[in-house]
Structure 1
Amino acid sequence: MVNPPVPGTRSRSFPARMAAVWRRWWQRQPPQRQDRFAMLAPLAAVVLFLAAIAIAFSYLRTEERDREQEAVRRDVEYAQQRLRLRLLERQEQLMRIARDVSNGEIDRQEFNSRSESLISQYPEMQALTWIDERRKVLASHAAPSLPASQLRHTDDLLRPGETENLFSLTRDLQQPVYSQPVGGNSPSTLLQLQIPLSIQGHFSGVLLGEYSIDSLLRYGVPSEVLARYAVTLQDGSGRPVAGTPLAPRTGAKRLVPWGANSITYEVPVSPVGNALVLHAQAYRTSLGVVGSGFFWLVGMLSAMTAWMLIANWRHTRRRMRAQQALIAETNFRRAMENSVLTGMRALDMESRITYVNAAFCQMTGWTESELVGQTPPYSYWPDEDHSHLANLLNDELTGRHKPGGFQVRVKRKSGAIFDARLYVSPLIDPHGQQTGWMTSMTDITEPNRIRAQLTASHERFTIVLEALDASVSVAPLGSQEILFANRLYRQWFGAEAEGHLQMAAQAGVQPADATGEDTLDDVDGLAGLPTTSLTQAQTENSEIFIPSLGRWLEVRSRYLNWVDGRLAQMVIATDITSRRNAEEQAAAQAERAQSISRLITMGEMASSVAHELNQPLTAISNYCSGLISRIKGGNTEQQMLLSALDKTAHQAQRAGQIIQRIRAFVKRSEPNRTPSDVASMVAEAVELADIEMRRRNIRLSHYVAARLPTLMVDPILIEQVLVNLMRNAAESVDNAARPPGRRSVELRVVPRHVEAQAAIEFTVLDTGGGLAPEVLERLFEAFFSTKSEGMGIGLNLCRSIVESHQGRMHAENLYNGSEVAGCRFSFWIPLRPPSDTPSATSPHKPSVTA
């Protein structure tokens, strides 16, 4: 049987559990925090008590203020209802008069009679005016108290202003309209009501009724409300129109405005609307904070209690702060000892270990309890070093320790050995007595390994530099000191800096004042340039000749920061004598290849040249035979003989010109760049190529742009390129077996702007079969030819000649739709070749390279 739960067990266990949780939390707090909570709890209780009193007092005052505000609101709304009913009653009476006027039931005399009765009966009514549709006053009756300035007379027109505007609004709306009173606290301020008049549906004027707002306030608002509050009627802008607002309350020493200690409420007066507002004010009757003696008594007692608690708490905090500073200092020193990587060991005067830090234990592998109390030999001494370490310990205890420390071997608990450096200093107590020795130990195994690696690396680096086939030297700026020189530099120039300075000067990288000579303005030429700009700058290679060595050297220079911080210059020189000799030989071979190419070209054109010479020679033979026959026949006229001899001489000159042109083309000569006329070069080339064109029955046309500038070229080489291209074009047309109408070659020479420079472009166009894609890829390779008997050096030499003049050559097929219609070979020569051409920089003859 299950026993029922004992009533109240749950309620008793919950507080017990909460108390247990509180005790556990309190016990987990440190003593400093427990003291802080013990001091803050009473202060918090006092502050909470004072806050509760202030909240209760504020709540009571708020509730009382709300009751007062509700009373004011209720009374003001009651007064507003009274005013509303009074205005509606007057409005109804005026509307009955307006209806009678519209129906023609009353005339002007009757209107004045009824107006007088209404004004005398109701004091707020000041005037009634009948106005027709032309704003003309037909009849008007006013109270005796109305000022003469506000009276309206019969047959007068409405004065411009508010009444006229209200008249237009009433006519448009066909409804009663109230005016907008303007505040100024003047008793003559009137509230106007205009009621439209309508005769048979047509607007026929208005009935204007004018109220005294001050009388409305006095007679329309209940007397008990006027007695209890300061009631005013205000316009839409909040300015009083009638009534007197509440006067400021005067205190003992200062004037307190009514808004700070008064209750206000306002509501618009219907049917006028927001243009007329009923505003009521009343002084507060409840006691303020100043008049609440109980509140001030409780506040003073609470403040005194809080002040005493704060004073006691500050005193306790000063004691706690001193205690915490001591604990923090102890923890800081212990943290420093445990965080440093240097092992610390303290010995007393009997060489017993009295203290070791965490780093020392971590280095050796033994714990603090195992090390403290040991005497020599210590457990971390290697067995084979006992005597050596004992001597060092004796020197340490007798004060003969080295200031820079000493290196020893230390054994770990695992048996591993590592290198360490020990530094010894005496321990002095506050009384100036020595109590022992402090030893710091640093593991230098890794630095020793790095030092050994650096030494080996330096040796390898030195071996590599010494074995280089290039001279390497480093010298500081403005000095003749040599900082580094490898074996080849010492072999060439010795151990002095003259060779370094000579190479730097000839290479064009010698800085100002590098010789160390004093001048009037002793300022380094590189003084204004940042070091980073110098050390990061890239220098170009320079080729120089050293007469003392009889060698050509390629020199590269760079600025760098030396190990001591000085700005230095490194010069690397490589012997390129063999390469220069090879370049000279290549240049000679290229020159011979050009001559051979011209000879081959003329050999291939031999039959055409023989045919070309056969014509003038045959003509000379015929002229001579004719002259002999005529002389033998006796038919010799002087004029006829002179004409025949002149023609014979002309044919002989033609044959001589052909021979001279061929000799000049095949003559082997040194390249000579001179200002050359483009038209003359083209004419010579066309004259030579035209022989081959006529033999193959191909039409050759050429176009040279007018006023072309001269080119600084070797005209023979350019003519060789043009002749070779035109011959290749003729062979392509002949091999393609084109019909007579499509057998043509065209040469065009025009100016062009390429690669940001002005140039002359030469283009040869043919109507042959074009070039295959695989041929285009290898077209300018040496010894590549599509002819069975070709040597493959013609186009390669042509491209080399063009590139030696800083030009470029390329080829492409011409298409007519998808069909190849021919080929275009073109090259361009710049008008002004750059100053760094081979002829300008090289000390030997210019070479042509592919």
Structure 2
Amino acid sequence: MPNAFDLKSAKRRLLLPLQRVATGWWRRQSPARQDRFATLGPLVSVLLFLTAIILAFWYLRNEEIERESEAVKRDTEIAQQQIRLRLIENQEQLMRIAREIVTRAVDTHDFSAQAKGFARERPEVTHVTWINARRETRASVSGAGFQDDSLMRSDGNDPSMPVANQSNPPESAFQNAKERRQPVYSQVFSDYNGTPVFQVQVPLIDRSGFSGVLIAEYSVEALLRYYVPTEVSSRHSMAVLDDGDKIVASSVTQMPGKRSKRASILHEAPLAPAMNGLVLRGEGYRTSIGLISNTLFWMVVALSTLTVWMLLGTWRHMRRRLQIQTALTSETNFRRAMENSMLTGMRALDMESRISYVNPAFCAMTGFSEAELIGRKPPFPFWPPDRLEENARLLQQEIHGRSPAGGVEVKMLRKDGSTFDGRMYVSPLVDTKGKQTGWMTSMTNITEAKRVRDQLSASHERFTTVLEGLDAAVSVLSVQQGELLFANRSYRLWFGADPAGHALLSGSQLGRSTGPDADEEVDDYSGLPPQHLTDAGADPREVFVESLEMWFDVRTRYLQWTDGRLAQMLIATDITTRRRAEEQAALQAEKAQMTSRLMTMGEMASSVAHELNQPLTAITNYCNGMVSRVRNDAIQKDDLLAALEKTAKQAQRAGQIIHRIRNFVKRSEPKREAAQAHDIVEDAVELAGIELRRRNVAIHTYVAQRLPQLMVDPILIEQVLMNLLKNAAEAIDNAGLPASRRHIELRVVPKHTPELGGHIDFSVTDMGPGMPEEVISRMYEAFFSTKSDGLGIGLGLCRSIVESHKGRIRAENLYNGAAIVGCRFAFSIPVDISRLDPTLPTAAAGPSGPTASAVVNQIPTP
């Protein structure tokens, strides 16, 4: 008894913590969750019951199938054992007869007698035959126990006889017995009568070696009929299968023309000791009712399904009610939270104009508590004393449902005596039966809104005043409708109220969709996100309006108008005066360029005269020589023609010099055209060569091949090169440098840098004394010159010309340590980088570089 008491106490101590945990967990759940768990309990119980029934049926069925499988296996092994013992016994008897044949203890007559006794006692043996090593029959006894000469004929017509050079089962067994020197079982085959049989061949080995075999042929069907126990064949079907899984013999005769149903339970065992591919198969069929066809099982499933369906319906009904209850609670809490958090005051009146409800926002606005307002009738304490009649009139208007939809603006009194402006909106209160029970009034404090509105009005007035006073035209146009939303005084003065002026300035189709074909026009901006357009910056452009003969600097950008529409704002500033000044400046620059070229040719006048004197002197000499020889009849026709040709060449040379000078100094408008750098350099060097030869200065020219075309004014670029070459020659000559340093290098190569992109670089390098740093910083200033007779406009013009072609010009001294050994002027003209030859160098490589391909010219010192 104490032991039982201790056991109960121990169980109680173990279950008590679990009970506490379960109870605590249950109490922590919400009522809705507890109801859900209580509803799911019966459903889980029914499902567990149905699962248990299914598992029980499945377990019993598997037990029965396992018992039937064990019975089939046992019967198959019994039949295999009986057949195996019989074959082993027969094999031993055959081996005894074979030993007597080998020892010459028996002859054919005695063999026949022994074979007859052997065959009569063994109904499974069809015949016993003795053949020699040459496959000749010595004796043969049939299964009936008599001598039969028709058995085992060696003429090749008996399938049971081994025949040389054939691949039948008897021949294969014969060869195996001959090679292995032990009994061999053949594969199954059909004998002369079409009966499935197999042979056991016992080799005859005497002192001379292999002397033949002793053959016993078994009927497969007889083995099953005589050696499978009756109780086994009555319970299960036994069949023998060959190595191709084909039934050779069976204890059950199949119906002809019908295919037997495959057994559900199978067990296979080899037909030992034959081991010739034959398999003994036991077949059994399940006698139990399947789980699917069990009526009791389906009745249980149907009842369980009905119970589950009812529980699910109850659970869904409770869940729907719980959802409605939860939604109602959430809606109530949401509305209460919304009323408590919003700044709009709410006040409810019943049919007798008595206050039945106020929210915290209304109490905060008026300063009165909820207890001070609930149940009060007009006049209400938040009505100002001087507006009692007006508020009473508004209340009557509210009660009779004549309040405007936009609300009513009223003056309200706070508890502390201060007032504020409010706007009230009224709607009727209707119960669930559709009967009106009162009115709900919402009120917002608009004091700050009125102040902001007044400030915005003043700000808008100031903004409009500023825009109207601008000298620039400001307009805003709707993108979709083409409507002019705003236009200041300057726009109206120039273009009136027509949106076509906006479209003319912006260069788009905006504002032109007001004609008869407006419906057929396509909006280019439809579908575009407004944010991407409004984030884009202004697009400056200059527009000339022919009707006004004025130039405008136009800047546009997209914005969202006050009503949310996408609009385009345009600011057009009158730049007519500036454009005229720029035209005058351009004209003055052109005159300065012309003046610079004339000054350059003036400085080169003596050199040009000397250059022209050489061909003219040669022409005079040729003419005088020809006249003298013609007078003396001392000239032949060929000599006369040669002298005339030389005279013509000298005249052409003089004409080319004059043509180059005329093209360089003639006045013409700047004109951009496609030009080759090589042609520009050639013309500039030819003109500058006159001055260089006069000053005894040599020039080395390097121009890279396959350069892209330049879109430039060739004369202006020649002027820049002429000025740089002339300045370099003057620097060398004025410094009195020796002959080793009296040369200039002109290089033209393609380059590409991240800053400038693709461009062609022109550089002029001299070996002169260089320039001081202060001169480099001021050399582009107007009228600044280091020459006593210089005007100071050469380098300034060069810079203007290069920058007008969107290029850069630079100057730098060359150093050898701390000493200046020369100066380099360079300017770059941009080109399309895609047109550059990819094989060209991207840096200033010399002519001997591995990728350099250039034209090198040299003008030697005279």
Q: Residues 144, 11 of structure 1: CA spacing in aligned structure 2 closer, same or farther, 3 A cutoff? A: closer
TM-score (norm 1): 0.67
Mapped partners of 2:188, 2:729: distance in 1: 114
Deviation track 1:368-405 (CA, whole Å, cap 9, x = no partner) reads 77764455566777899888656644543455533432
Select 1:215's aligned residue among 212, 218, 222: 222
Q: 1:233 maps to which residue? A: 240
Q: Residues 58, 543 of structure 1: CA spacing in aligned structure 2 closer, same or farther, 3 A cutoff? A: closer
Which amino acid letter does the alignment assign opposite residue 81 of structure 1?
A: Q
Which amino acid letter does the alignment assign opposite residue 228 of structure 1?
A: R
CA shift, 1:76, in A, is: 2.4
Instruction: Give the total of aligned pairs.
Output: 792
Instruction: Give the alignment of 1:181-260 within 5 angstroms.
Output: 181=188, 188-193=195-200, 209-236=216-243, 238-245=245-252, 259=263
Q: 1:496 maps to which residue? A: 497
Q: Residues 39, 603 of structure 1: CA spacing in aligned structure 2 closer, same or farther, 3 A cutoff? A: closer
Deviation track 1:556-583 (CA, whole Å, cap 9, x = no partner) reads 5678886678887654322112321232
Deviation track 1:216-237 (CA, whole Å, cap 9, x = no partner) reads 2123323332233322223355
Q: 2:835 maps to which residue? A: none
Mapped partners of 1:102, 1:775: distance in 2: 136
Q: 1:401 maps to which residue? A: 403
CA contact (8 A) 2:46 2:308 kept: no
Q: What SS class does the counterpart of residue 584 from structure 1 fall into?
A: helix
Q: 1:595 maps to which residue? A: 594
Q: What CA RMSD, in Å, does the superposition of the two structures yield over aligned residues?
A: 6.9
Q: Residues 694, 85 of structure 1: CA spacing in aligned structure 2 closer, same or farther, 3 A cutoff? A: same
Mapped partners of 2:539, 2:8: distance in 1: 101
Q: 2:667 maps to which residue? A: 669
CA contact (8 A) 1:511 1:525 kept: no
Mapped partners of 2:541, 2:815: distance in 1: 47
CA contact (8 A) 1:138 1:155 kept: no
Q: Residues 599, 211 of structure 1: CA spacing in aligned structure 2 closer, same or farther, 3 A cutoff? A: same
Q: 1:77 maps to which residue? A: 77
Instruction: Give the alignment of 1:359-370 within 5 angstroms.
Output: none
Mapped partners of 2:208, 2:420: distance in 1: 124
CA shift, 1:696, in A, is: 3.5
Mapped partners of 2:208, 2:452: distance in 1: 118
CA contact (8 A) 1:79 1:220 kept: yes
Mapped partners of 1:31, 1:358: distance in 2: 31
Q: Residues 223, 792 of structure 1: CA spacing in aligned structure 2 closer, same or farther, 3 A cutoff? A: farther
1:698 aligns with 2:697: yes
CA shift, 1:825, in A, is: 5.5
CA contact (8 A) 1:809 1:828 kept: no
Select 1:532's aligned residue among 528, 532, 538: 528
Q: Residues 718, 229 of structure 1: CA spacing in aligned structure 2 closer, same or farther, 3 A cutoff? A: closer
Instruction: Give the alignment of 1:105-116 within 5 angstroms.
Output: none
Q: 1:352 maps to which residue? A: 354
CA contact (8 A) 2:197 2:218 kept: yes
CA contact (8 A) 1:511 1:526 kept: no
CA shift, 1:807, in A, is: 7.7
CA contact (8 A) 2:807 2:827 kept: no
CA contact (8 A) 1:183 1:234 kept: no
Q: 1:844 maps to which residue? A: none
Q: 2:577 maps to which residue? A: 578
CA contact (8 A) 2:482 2:511 kept: no
1:545 aligns with 2:544: yes
CA shift, 1:19, in A, is: 7.8
Q: What SS class does the counterpart of residue 532 from structure 1 fall into?
A: coil
Mapped partners of 2:741, 2:102: distance in 1: 115
Deviation track 1:409-432 (CA, whole Å, cap 9, x = no partner) reads 778999999865432234456777
Q: 1:267 maps to which residue? A: 269
1:721 aligns with 2:723: no
TM-score (norm 2): 0.67
Which amino acid letter does the alignment assign opposite residue 491 of structure 2?
A: Y
CA contact (8 A) 2:770 2:822 kept: no
Select 1:436's aligned residue among 435, 438, 459: 438
CA shift, 1:286, in A, is: 6.7
Mapped partners of 1:734, 1:714: distance in 2: 31
Q: Residues 414, 129 of structure 1: CA spacing in aligned structure 2 closer, same or farther, 3 A cutoff? A: farther
Mapped partners of 1:376, 1:219: distance in 2: 123
CA shift, 1:326, in A, is: 7.8
CA shift, 1:463, in A, is: 5.4
Q: What SS class does the counterpart of residue 218 from structure 2 fall into?
A: strand
Mapped partners of 1:509, 1:172: distance in 2: 108
Mapped partners of 2:457, 2:828: distance in 1: 60
Q: 1:485 maps to which residue? A: 487
Deviation track 1:791-834 (CA, whole Å, cap 9, x = no partner) reads 77545534543565678878999999xx9999695766989xxx
Mapped partners of 2:443, 2:477: distance in 1: 42
Q: Residues 822, 142 of structure 1: CA spacing in aligned structure 2 closer, same or farther, 3 A cutoff? A: farther
Mapped partners of 2:506, 2:31: distance in 1: 82
Mapped partners of 2:301, 2:615: distance in 1: 143
Task: Give the gaps of 5 or more residues in structure 2.
Answer: 157-162, 833-862
Mapped partners of 1:461, 1:103: distance in 2: 143
Mapped partners of 1:734, 1:133: distance in 2: 130
Q: What SS class does the counterpart of residue 542 from structure 2 fall into?
A: strand
Q: What SS class does the counterpart of residue 275 from structure 1 fall into?
A: coil
Mapped partners of 2:202, 2:362: distance in 1: 111
CA contact (8 A) 1:137 1:155 kept: no
Structure 1 stretch 17-26 or stretch 57-66: which is displaced more? 17-26
Q: What SS class does the counterpart of residue 483 from structure 1 fall into?
A: strand
Instruction: Give the alignment of 1:285-324 within 5 angstroms.
Output: none
Mapped partners of 1:562, 1:345: distance in 2: 38
Q: Residues 244, 420 of structure 1: CA spacing in aligned structure 2 closer, same or farther, 3 A cutoff? A: farther
Q: Residues 538, 663 of structure 1: CA spacing in aligned structure 2 closer, same or farther, 3 A cutoff? A: same
Structure 1 stretch 382-391 or stretch 216-225: which is displaced more? 382-391
Q: Residues 737, 414 of structure 1: CA spacing in aligned structure 2 closer, same or farther, 3 A cutoff? A: farther
CA shift, 1:485, in A, is: 0.4
Mapped partners of 1:61, 1:584: distance in 2: 110
Structure 1 stretch 821-830 or stretch 793-802: which is displaced more? 821-830
Q: Residues 774, 213 of structure 1: CA spacing in aligned structure 2 closer, same or farther, 3 A cutoff? A: farther
Which amino acid letter does the alignment assign opposite residue 580 of structure 1?
A: R
Deviation track 1:477-535 (CA, whole Å, cap 9, x = no partner) reads 89996431023213434x431xx525644775356965x554xx665443577353999
CA shift, 1:242, in A, is: 1.6
Q: 1:847 maps to which residue? A: none
Q: What SS class does the counterpart of residue 279 from structure 1 fall into?
A: strand
Q: 1:838 maps to which residue? A: none
Select 2:332's aligned residue among 319, 331, 334: 334
Percent identical: 45
Q: What SS class does the counterpart of residue 278 from structure 2 fall into?
A: strand
Q: What SS class does the counterpart of residue 528 from structure 2 fall into?
A: helix
CA contact (8 A) 1:673 1:714 kept: yes
Deviation track 1:634-688 (CA, whole Å, cap 9, x = no partner) reads x999679x99xx9xx9999899979957974785724364989989876664443
Q: 1:839 maps to which residue? A: none
Mapped partners of 2:287, 2:660: distance in 1: 136
CA shift, 1:736, in A, is: 9.9
Instruction: Give the alignment of 1:123-138 within 5 angstroms.
Output: 123-127=123-127
Q: What SS class does the counterpart of residue 403 from structure 2 fall into?
A: coil
Which amino acid letter does the alignment assign opposite residue 123 of structure 1?
A: P
Q: 2:801 maps to which residue? A: 801
CA contact (8 A) 1:558 1:570 kept: yes
CA contact (8 A) 1:811 1:825 kept: yes
CA shift, 1:27, in A, is: 8.2
Task: Give the gaps of 5 or more residues in structure 1.
Answer: 249-254, 628-634, 832-850
Q: Residues 228, 539 of structure 1: CA spacing in aligned structure 2 closer, same or farther, 3 A cutoff? A: same
Structure 1 stretch 586-595 or stretch 463-472: which is displaced more? 463-472
Mapped partners of 1:735, 1:177: distance in 2: 128
